[in-house]
Amino acid sequence: MAHITAEPVALPVIPVRELLPWAILGGLLMMLAIYFVGSEQGATSLISGMYVHEFVHDGRHLLGFPCH
């Protein structure tokens, strides 16, 4: 009878120094997305008109932001 043995597989280790810039970039992009979904209208508007508001309108309701 043949015996099957499995050797342990080493998991790759990702250094924090290499991961940190990507985590910061992802966090900044998420904050920018939350700004556009949550408050891009009215007095704090960066883009004139209601184009951004209408584009993210359903997302505003899904996340609980009031808009009307």
Report pLDDT for 7: 83
**Helix runs in 1-68, H state only:** 16-39, 51-55, 57-63
Check if the beta carbon of residue 68 is closer than 8 Å to that of residue 54: no
The list of the chain residues with pLDDT below 70 reads 1, 40-47, 49, 67-68
Question: Is the model's pTM score more than 0.75?
Answer: no
* Tokens linked to 22: 């990507």
